[in-house]
Amino acid sequence: MKSKILALLGSTLLTGTAMAGGYQVNLASQRQIGMGHTGTGLQTGTSSIFFNPGAMAQARNGVTIGASFITSKIAYQAPETNTTVNADNPTGTPFHAYGVFGITDKLKAGIGAYTPFGSTVRWGDEWNGRFGLNELSLQAIFVQPTLSYQLTDKLGIGAGLTVAFGSVNLQRSLPVENSNGDEGKIELDGGANTAFGFNAGIFFQATDKLSLGLNYRSKVDLEVEEGDVTFTNVPAAASANFQPGTQFSAALPMPATLTLGISYTPTNKLTLALDISRVEWSAYKELRFDFTKDVAGRPNSVNARNYEDTYIFRLGGEYKVNDALALRAGAYLDKTPVEDGYLTPETPDADSRGLSVGIGYAFSEKFGVDASFLYINKKERTDAANLSGGVPGTFKSIAYIPGVAFNYNF
Amino acid sequence: MKKYIYKVSALVLFAGVLFTSCDPEIEGFEPSKGAKLDFTKYVAVGNSLTAGYQDRGLYREGQLNSYPAILAQQFAFVGGGAFVQPLFTEAQANGTGYLKLTGFNPPANPGASPSPILTPVTTNLAVRTDVAPLPGGPRLTKFTDTVNNLGVPGMSVLSSFTPVYGGINPHFERLLTDAEVGQKNYITKVGESQPTFFTLWLGNNDVLTYATNGAVADPNNPFSGLTPAAQFQQIYGALVATLTKGGEVEGVIANIPDVTSVPFFKTVTLAAVRASAGNQDLNIYFKDGETTRIIAAGDLIPLSTQSALGRVDMIQTPNGTAPIPHGFHPLNPLNDNEVLDVNEVKEVTDHTKVLNDIIAQVAAANKIPVFDVNKYFNERFAKPFVLNGVVYSSSFITGNIFSLDGIHLTPRGAAIVANEFINVINKNYGASVPKVDETQYRAIPLP
């Protein structure tokens, strides 16, 4: 089931470069990206499946499909050196697809697929941190069947079951070299067991102009069992330390997120929205790989992460120029969950600032297009990385994320 | 309306291309030589460690990765000039020959370590067969151009003063013209180099030669004892005065590491020998002067003794000759020069401290900062440490810092030491010489 879905979607669609805090990828709707990725306190149409299932009861029947194209750039400089290493990250394409269908006037069913977590970072095998990381590709797809019910004119509730699929591929250089000077490499590759969680929300239309929403997306643990460990270029003399046929298991938490959203509509043309999210990153304590055969004399590899819970503050607005055209803008501040001493090259995270613009155009009552552009700038961060087994130095990340989505209502 | 969409799309696309061409920039480190330093002509003065000697030989790869070569490469970012080393040619790249790790013998008994097989490299040498060898070994292909790396394997403070040494040590002889051999001492050669910046790391052989020979001076080699403090002080003072030219020239002085901090003295232990023999009751006997003693805590067995340990010798016993393994029986103990016993360790470390005090005094008098290698080796290398995800230690082979002779640095070790030199320079001279990425230098390749 899992592999079929992954194959269906194609591997390029799976790559999401983590450009939110940690390895979260907050790119769930082009309209909402344009508004600083707010959306919990307002009607967002089909994407309410993600932002707030409580608001889905009022969504029109329809489908939306969209994708973002992440160009992320990360620069690194080792302490007291004058050479900069640039990560060569592939373009990431997180996507989303939503469909909503009315069962009764008050009860709606929906299904969504989206990529709320992921990370692809490629440092190569020559930089000084290569024994920590050459490249990491972490992919997660959530599929979420959802029901939403309009309790009163003002109050809607909704909940969905999230079914999570994922995979991880991590490559490192090994500090052993053969007589040709080639360094050994280890590659960990595995698909995660299907995991489950939920996404629930309440939507309250307080007045004509003011609405509120509360949304909770639960933690999902992605666990890999019997992942493959592949060694290359291991010298014969060290082969007992790196045996073929080794397998690994690992678990990575996709943390819970609680969001409170408020929306205010001063005029028919203008919508303002504010979201505050608390991401329970403290679930990520350590990155641990357990091996079926000792690797370098050890049955496991454990590095502390000790993330802390963080908040994201989002602000966005939409101005309807006319019935067809909408212009959007937004901004957010996403605090980093990575504490001092724990910075790693797999997520060289720092407080990130996002600025977004968007445009929506309805070609007809039924068909519309949304385009968004998000610029993310993470603070330059210098860390000793002495607590995480990471790579000390200074990191700086920026990202340019254009995206486009199509929606069809019926 | 479609036209409008196209226009907007084109604009977004254009903005996208514009933005994506910008790379993030790190407001980081500005290389600077500071106000006082001039790296135009950097000269490295020292012994085998400075020359790039490793794996019990001097060869081209070691020379190319010597810590002075690495330093010169980093100095080039802050105005450093060309740095000439007396490199062996590609055709004679293996120089004096050296040891190569070609395999491991499996552990003789459970719990023992596999023992490395070290094979001498004997091809493409720079050894001269057209002339008679010197007392210090066969002569080597000459390199009499002016050089910046004056590291001479075997050079000590004591031998730097005597012109005779050019006719003894082939590494020094190769840097001298035929007319200079036996006529010019090392200090004069150093003086002629006229540096604008120097590193001086000399004095190790004023104790190490004695220590590696089990604290037995060779009567035929006047440079094999512990150099007396007074003599050391006089020569060292002259050497530093020659380099600094009365305060005109800046540099860094490195002192003498504790000989017991290197794998040469830490690998062959009683526990390791017992594990290898599979006999926890095994004792090792050695001659301590006139008496024969059992090896105990604090007595050090040099790496060079390992191959002799257990060698079956025919020994005269009261019951006739019998085969007795060397070192494992009171009738065939290890020789005095095959062990650095606990008292000799103290003698050597005490004398190292005396000489290091002199180095500190001379440096202070000339206002030259000291890289306290003794402290650095003892504190940094004493227990395993992690750098860029790699574990290092002073263990033989697996520690990756010390080469196959157990005394000299690997290229990786040289880079780590070069960075420490840079620390001392930056700290004391207000300079910002960039550090080197040590992972770009090899450690110990495995077969």
**Sign of the Cα pseudo-torsion (B140, B144, B150, B154, in order):** positive
The B-side interface with A (CB below 8 A) comprises 1, 5, 8-9, 12-13, 15-16, 19-20, 22-31, 77, 101, 103-104, 386, 388-391, 400, 422, 426, 432, 434-440, 442-443, 445-447
A22 with A124: CB under 8 angstroms?
no
* Contact yes or no for B9 and A371 at CB 8 A: yes
* Contact yes or no for B443 and A175 at CB 8 A: yes
Please, which pLDDT band fits residue B164 given cuts at 50, 70 and 90? very high
Q: What is the mean pLDDT of chain A?
A: 92
Q: Residue B28: is its pLDDT beyond 60?
A: yes
Q: Residue B19: is its pLDDT beyond 70?
A: no
* Contact yes or no for A175 and B31 at CB 8 A: no
What are the pLDDT digits (tens) for A379-410? 999 999 988 888 999 999 999 999 999 999 98
Compute the distance between CA of residue A124 and CA of residue B258 in angstroms, rounded to an integer: 39
Find the mean pLDDT for residues B408-417.
98
Compute the distance between CA of residue B118 and CA of residue B165 in angstroms, rounded to an integer: 31
Which of A71, A78, A371 is the closest to B437 by Cβ? A78
Q: Residue B389: is its pLDDT beyond 90?
A: no
Q: Residue B115: is its pLDDT beyond 90?
A: no
Which of B29, B386, B438 is the closest to A77 by Cβ? B29
% of residues, chain B, pLDDT over 90: 83
* Contact yes or no for B26 and A76 at CB 8 A: yes
Closest-CA residue of chain B to A179: B445
* Contact yes or no for B389 and A80 at CB 8 A: no
pTM (predicted TM-score): 0.90
Q: Residue A1: is its pLDDT beyond 60?
A: no
Going through A193-256 in order, the beta strands assigned E by DSSP cover: 195-205, 210-217, 220-232, 247-254
Q: What is the pLDDT of residue B5?
A: 55
Q: Residue A12: is its pLDDT beyond 50?
A: no
Give me the residues of A, 311-330, that contact B with CB < 8 A: 324
What are the pLDDT digits (tens) for A13-54? 334 444 556 788 999 999 999 999 999 999 999 999 999 999
* Contact yes or no for B445 and A397 at CB 8 A: no
Which of B389, B434, B437 is the closest to A389 by Cβ? B389
Closest-CA residue of chain B to A324: B1
The CA–CA distances, whole Å, from B278 to A191, B109, B285, B297, B305 equal 46, 5, 18, 20, 19
Domain A2-409 has CATH 2.40.160.60: yes
Give how far A397 is from chain B: nearest CA, Å: 6
Residue B418 or residue A71, greater confidence: B418
Find the mean pLDDT for residues B169-184.
97
Q: What is the pLDDT of residue B112?
A: 78
Compute the distance between CA of residue B268 and CA of residue B309 in angstroms, rounded to an integer: 10
Q: Kindly state the DSSP code that residue B39 receives in the 8-state scheme.
A: -
Contacts of A238 in chain B (CB under 8 A): 446
Q: What is the mean pLDDT of chain B?
A: 93
CA B203-B204-B206 angle, to 5 degrees, is 65
Find the mean pLDDT for residues A281-303.
94
Tokens at A178, concatenated: 């053969």
Compute the distance between CA of residue A180 and CA of residue B445 in angstroms, rounded to an integer: 8
Give the best residue of B121, B390, B391 to mutate against chain A (max A CB count within 10 A).
Answer: B390
Question: Read out DSSP for A61-117?
Answer: SEEEEEEE-BEEEEEEE-TT---EEE--PPPB--EEEEEEEESSSSEEEEEEEE--B
Q: What is the pLDDT of residue A88?
A: 87
**ipTM given for this complex:** 0.87
Tokens at A84, concatenated: 């900069």
What are the pLDDT digits (tens) for A106-127? 999 999 999 999 888 999 999 9
Give the best residue of B393, B437, B441, B442 to mutate against chain A (max A CB count within 10 A).
Answer: B437
Find the mean pLDDT for residues B342-366.
97
Most confident of B82-91, B323-332, B386-395: B82-91
Q: Residue B225: is its pLDDT beyond 90?
A: yes
% of residues, chain A, pLDDT over 90: 86
Q: What is the pLDDT of residue A201?
A: 98
Q: Residue A361: is its pLDDT beyond 80?
A: yes
Contacts of B432 in chain A (CB under 8 A): 80
**CA-closest candidate to residue B415, choices B52, B5, B35:** B52
* Contact yes or no for A77 and B388 at CB 8 A: no
Which of A74, A80, A359 is the closest to B8 by Cβ? A359
Q: Which residues contact B353 (CB under 8 A, 6 or more apart)?
A: none
Closest-CA residue of chain B to A371: B9
Lowest mean pLDDT among A36-50, A204-218, B61-75, B109-123: B109-123
Q: What is the pLDDT of residue A255?
A: 96
Contacts of A353 in chain B (CB under 8 A): none
What are the pLDDT digits (tens) for B251-298? 999 999 998 889 999 999 999 999 888 889 999 999 988 899 999 999
Contacts of A241 in chain B (CB under 8 A): none
Give me the residues of A, 285-304, that contact B with CB < 8 A: none
Give me the residues of A, 343-372, that contact B with CB < 8 A: 359, 361, 369, 371
Please, which pLDDT band fits residue A2 given cuts at 50, 70 and 90? very low
% of residues, chain A, pLDDT over 70: 95
% of residues, chain B, pLDDT over 70: 95
Please, which pLDDT band fits residue B18 given cuts at 50, 70 and 90? low
Find the mean pLDDT for residues A332-346.
94
Q: Give the largest Cα separation in chain B, rounded.
A: 116
Please, which pLDDT band fits residue A8 given cuts at 50, 70 and 90? very low
**Phi/psi at A36 (5° precision):** 70, 20
Q: Residue B213: is its pLDDT beyond 80?
A: yes
Find the mean pLDDT for residues A327-354.
95
Taking the domains of chain A in order of start, what are their residue ranges? 2-409
Can you list the domains of chain B with their CATH numbers? 42-259+342-440 (3.40.50.1110), 270-338 (no CATH)
Find the mean pLDDT for residues A172-200.
95
Q: What is the pLDDT of residue A14?
A: 39
Q: Would you say how long chain B is, in residues?
A: 447
Number of CB atoms found within 10 A of residue A168's CB: 22
Find the mean pLDDT for residues B111-134.
92
Q: What is the pLDDT of residue B13?
A: 60
Q: What is the pLDDT of residue A246?
A: 96
Q: What is the pLDDT of residue A13?
A: 39
A354 with A37: CB under 8 angstroms?
yes
B81 with B40: CB under 8 angstroms?
yes
Please, which pLDDT band fits residue A172 given cuts at 50, 70 and 90? very high
Q: What is the pLDDT of residue A15?
A: 40
Give the best residue of A81, A352, A397 to mutate against chain B (max B CB count within 10 A).
Answer: A81
* Contact yes or no for B389 and A179 at CB 8 A: no
